[in-house]
Amino acid sequence: MSKLLIKEKEIVVPGEALAEGMDYLPGTGTYRLNDKIIAKRLGLVNISGRAIKLVPLSGRYLPKFGDKIIAKVTDITMNGWIVNINTAYSAFISMRDATSSFIKKGDDLTKYFDIGDYLRAKVVNVTSQRLVDLTMKEPGLNKLRGGRIIKINPQKVPRIIGKEGSMVSLIKKKTNCNIVVGQNGLVWISSENFDNELIAEKAVRKIEQEAHLGGLTDVIEKFLDKLMGGKK
Amino acid sequence: MDKEIKAHVQQLLKQDKRLDGRKLDQYREPVKVEYGIAKTAEGSAKVQIGETVVTAGIKLSIEKPYPDTPDQGGIMVNVELLPLSNPKFETGPPSINAIELSRVIDRGIREAKAIDIKNLCIEKGEKAWTVSIDICPINAAGNLFDAAGLAALAALKDAKFPKYENDEIDYKTRTTKKLALSQEPLPVTIIKIGDKFLVDPTLQEEKAIDARLTVATTPDGTVSALQKGGDEPLTIAEVDEMVKIALEKGKFLREKL
């Protein structure tokens, strides 16, 4: 007879048995050992039907095809830019993927992106050797000018974005900021008004800290209303 | 490098604003000092300024005095920038930053004559106490100078001599005899970005520094050491202004001891 050993939303540690019996299926972050399902990481349990999934509490970003991320230029090569994407492996943007404008032979590449610049890019390929290729040839993918970059726990990114972007658009609306959330845990915040920029950062930090709690959107809405006070 | 963040910091400073919303002469919260964190050291302290955490330990040993100063003990300051405290730090021989940091702390304590090194002599030309101050940042998130200086002073205040009998030191037994401090020098670093002076820079602000001046002062307002850094020059009027800020902020930090 199959039996659940834990409750929904419980925090489990690696090696902890989550369920007994073959009726349950191991989802992401878990594996099967004999007839038991065991946790692979430290995280919250999510039971959906027969599948048991684990939402990790922390951990590095792993590049995935199609992710929109924020990258920092670390080096310039003959045919493109090497960028840091906040993961264990460095990524590459080739010249043809970086810009739609024509780059002449022997042109100075720092004219386009210099070392230290932040770019918004999309992952187009992750090889088995974990070489990551990026592209910027899509609307909305460009160099990020001005503003500030903050680093958050990559596992909390889904909470910052919210359901269909509800959370991030709430902050955008309330504080009048431009916000770009990269899947790799970098967030870019920019605003004409500096005080609003600061409030937006505080809101993002608060979400990161309280990501495991329910009803977060209401909490953040009240939080933002309080900080913004009467101003617009 | 980091042109964007530099431009952003400079632009904000024009409106007298900082990235984290602090005032120009405001330290990060909390500023905390914890004594006696290491049992094996004769004196130790942990200092937290905002996210920056620095530990310092004092070791007392008996060495032969240098031939030119046979009646004096010694002071040694060593800073090790641990790779765990910042991704930019590497293992290996001390970097130029670690050397500068240790020398600034050393000079502040030595030139204020905080430790009476003649008192440390046990037998002229043969034996004298040497005070080793070891500083390790646990999290280097900006303003290591002030945090390290505060930690070194706190650790010195915490230090007690070990038992010394028949030419042997028993490190396991501590006496109640404290290491006598005649002065309490404390460094305060003031940085200049554009034409603005600010204290306690974060890592981002440190990237935008034009010039910096570390001023070590004693409670009575004596300046015991200065160290200038950064690429831009400073005028005499600017140095005067910075020393004034350092004296005021030194008082603030002293309250935390």
Q: What is the pLDDT of residues A103-119, one digit of tens each?
A: 888 788 888 899 888 99
Distances (CA, A) of B252 to A158, A219, B35, B223, B246: 42, 36, 18, 16, 10
Do the beta carbons of residue B144 and residue B52 sit within 8 Å?
yes
| Own/partner pairs, B239-243, CB within 8 angstroms, 24+ separation | B239/B213, B241/B197, B242/B190, B242/B192, B242/B197, B242/B213, B242/B215, B243/B215, B243/B217
Task: Render pLDDT for A185-202 as a digit per residue (tens, 0 to 9).
Answer: 999 999 888 888 889 998
Is the per-residue pLDDT at B133 higher than 60?
A: yes
Note the pLDDT of residue B198: 92
Share the mean pLDDT of chain B. 91
First to last CA, chain A: 60
Measure in Å the smallest separation between the Cα of A145 and chain B Cα atoms: 7
Q: Quick check: helix, strand or coil at residue B91? A: coil
Is the per-residue pLDDT at B110 higher than 70?
A: yes
d(CA A125, CA A134): 7
CA A25 to chain centre: 27
d(CA B177, CA B169): 14
Reported confidence tier of residue A10, pLDDT bands at 50, 70, 90: confident
d(CA A17, CA A38): 5
Task: Render pLDDT for A123-177 as a digit per residue (tens, 0 to 9).
Answer: 999 988 888 999 999 888 989 888 888 999 998 898 899 888 899 999 998 888 9
Which residue type occupies B101? L
Of A115, A145, A146, the CB nearest to B1: A115
Note the pLDDT of residue B139: 95
Nearest to A155 by CA among A6, A52, A44, A51: A44
- Please tell me if residue B51 touches chain A, with a CB cutoff of 8 Å: no
- Does the beta-carbon distance from A194 to B17 stay under 8 Å? yes
d(CA B42, CA B157): 10
Cis status, amide bond into B30, omega within 30 of 0: yes
- Please tell me if residue B138 touches chain A, with a CB cutoff of 8 Å: no
Task: Render pLDDT for A29-61 as a digit per residue (tens, 0 to 9).
Answer: 899 988 899 999 898 898 888 889 888 888 888
Measure in Å the smallest separation between the Cα of A8 and chain B Cα atoms: 35
Tokens of B36: 């006696």
Q: How many CA atoms lie within 13 A of B124 on its CB side?
A: 1
d(CA B99, CA B113): 21
Nearest to B58 by CA among B107, B125, B138, B130: B130
Tokens of A186: 């970098």
- Name which of A112, A177, A197, A205 to mutate to probe chain B: the one with the most chain B Cβ atoms within 10 A of its Cβ: A197
d(CA B56, CA B58): 7
Residue B228 bridge partners (DSSP): B213
Tokens of B148: 């390290």
- DSSP 8-class letter at B218: -
Do the beta carbons of residue B22 and residue B28 sit within 8 Å?
yes
Task: Render pLDDT for B25-50 as a digit per residue (tens, 0 to 9).
Answer: 999 989 999 999 998 999 999 999 99
- Domains of chain A, with CATH numbers? 3-56 (2.40.50.100), 68-144 (2.40.50.140), 148-228 (3.30.1370.10)
Task: Render pLDDT for B39-94 as a digit per residue (tens, 0 to 9).
Answer: 899 999 999 999 999 999 999 999 999 999 888 989 999 999 999 999 889 999 99
First to last CA, chain B: 38
Residues of B in contact with A194 (CB under 8 A): 12, 15, 17
Distances (CA, A) of A142 to A138, A157, A216: 9, 20, 31
d(CA A100, CA A79): 15
Neighbours of A212 (CB within 10 A): 14
At residue A138, φ and ψ (nearest 5 deg) are -160, 150
CA nearest B17 in A: which residue?
A194
Do the beta carbons of residue A157 and residue A185 sit within 8 Å?
yes
DSSP for chain A, written as a single string: --EE-S-TT-EE-TT-EEEESTTSEE-TTEEEETTEEEE-SSEEEEEETTEEEEEESS------TT-EEEEEEEEE-SSEEEEE-SSSS-EEEEHHHH-SSPPPTT--GGGT--TT-EEEEEEEEE-TT--EEEE--STT--EE-SSEEEE--GGGHHHHH-GGGHHHHHHHHHHT-EEEE-TTSEEEEE-SSHHHHHHHHHHHHHHHHTTTSSSHHHHHHHHHHHHHTT--
Note the pLDDT of residue A73: 93
Residues of B in contact with A116 (CB under 8 A): 1-4
Helix (H) or strand (E) holding B7: helix B3-14
Q: Give the sign of the dihedral formed by CA A87, CA A93, CA A97, CA A101.
A: positive
Residue pairs between chains A and B whose CB atoms are closer than 8 Å: 27
Residues of A in contact with B7 (CB under 8 A): 146
- Name which of A148, A175, A227 to mutate to probe chain B: the one with the most chain B Cβ atoms within 10 A of its Cβ: A148
CA nearest B7 in A: which residue?
A146
- Does the beta-carbon distance from B4 to A146 stay under 8 Å? yes
Residue partners of B166: CB distance under 8 A and separation at least 6: none
- Please tell me if residue B5 touches chain A, with a CB cutoff of 8 Å: yes
Of A145, A194, A198, the CB nearest to B4: A145
Task: Render pLDDT for A78-105 as a digit per residue (tens, 0 to 9).
Answer: 889 999 999 988 899 998 888 888 888 8
| % of chain A with per-residue pLDDT over 70 | 98
Note the pLDDT of residue B157: 93
- Domains of chain B, with CATH numbers? 3-254 (3.30.230.70)
Reported confidence tier of residue A231, pLDDT bands at 50, 70, 90: low
Which residue type occupies A18? L
Helix axes A216-228, A194-209, angle to 10 degrees: 150
Residues of B in contact with A148 (CB under 8 A): 5, 8, 19, 204
Measure in Å the smallest separation between the Cα of A140 and chain B Cα atoms: 19
